Chains A and B, each alone.
Chain A
Amino acid sequence: MTTLDAIEAPGEQRARRPIRPFHNIWPKIALTPMIATALVVFLGGTIWTVVYSFTSSGLLPRTDWVGFAQYQRLWSTPKWNIAIRNLAFFGVFSLSFTLVIGFTLAALLDRKIRGEAVFRTIFLYPFALSFIVTGLVWQWILNPEFGVQGIVRSMGWTSFNFDPLHNPDIVMLGILIAGLWQGTGLIMVIMLAGLRGIDEDIWKAARVDGIPTWKTYVVVIIPMMRPVFVTAIVLISSGIIKLYDLVVAQTSGGPGISSEVPATYVMTAMFGGQNLGQGFAASTMMLLFVAAILVPWALLEFGGRKRG
Chain B
Amino acid sequence: MTATLRIAEGHSPAPKSEVGHSVQVKDLDLQFGAVKVLNDLNLDIGEGEFLVLLGPSGCGKSTLLNCIAGLLEPTDGQIWIKGQNVTWKEPNERGIGMVFQSYALYPQMTVEGNLSFGLKNARMPKDEIRRRVARAAEILQIEPLLQRKPGALSGGQRQRVAIGRALVRDVDVFLFDEPLSNLDAKLRADLRVEIKRLHQQLRNTMIYVTHDQVEAMTLADRIAIMKGGVIMQLGTPDEIYNRPQSLYVADFIGSPSMNFITGHLEGGTFKAGGMSGGVVLPMEGYRFATPQVGDRPAVIGIRPEHVITGELVASAPVTHEVTVELVEPMGSDTLVWAQVAGERFRIRMDGQARVAPGDRLPIGIDPSRASLFDKKTEDRL
Contact = CB atoms under 8 A, between A and B. Distances in A.
| A adjacent to B, CB under 8 Å | yes
B84 A1 contact: yes
Interface string B72-88: 01111110100111011
A259 B75 CA distance: 62
B74 A3 contact: no
A17 B77 contact: yes
Interface in B69-124: 73-78, 80, 83-85, 87-88
A34 interface: no
Given A14-B27, A15-B26, A20 B88 contact: yes
Interface in A262-303: none
Interface string A133-146: 00000000000000
B238 to A, nearest CB: 29
Q: Main SS of chain B's interface residues? A: strand
A6 B74 contact: no
A15 B83 contact: no
Interface residues of A, number: 10
A16 interface: yes
B83 A17 contact: no
Contacts of A3: 85
Nearest to B80: A7
B125 to A, nearest CB: 27
How big is chain B's contact interface, by range? 10 to 19
B45 to A, nearest CB: 15
B371 to A, nearest CB: 32
A113 to B, nearest CB: 34
Contacts of B83: 4, 7
Interface in B315-332: none
Contacts, number: 29
A17 B84 CA distance: 14
Interface string A3-19: 11011000000111100
B78 A15 contact: yes
A213 to B, nearest CB: 42
B77 A15 contact: yes
Nearest to A23: B88
Contact of A6 (B27, B75, B85): B85
A248 to B, nearest CB: 47
A4 B78 CA distance: 13
- Which of A7, A15, A20 has its CB near the most chain B CB atoms (within 10 A)? A15
- Which of A1, A4, A14 has its CB near the most chain B CB atoms (within 10 A)? A14
A15 B80 CA distance: 11
Among all A-B residue pairs, the 10 with the closest Cβ atoms: A15-B78, A15-B26, A15-B27, A3-B85, A15-B77, A14-B27, A17-B76, A17-B87, A17-B74, A7-B83
Given A15-B87, A17-B73, 12 more contacts: A4-B83, A4-B85, A6-B85, A7-B83, A14-B27, A14-B77, A15-B27, A15-B76, A15-B77, A16-B78, A17-B78, A17-B87
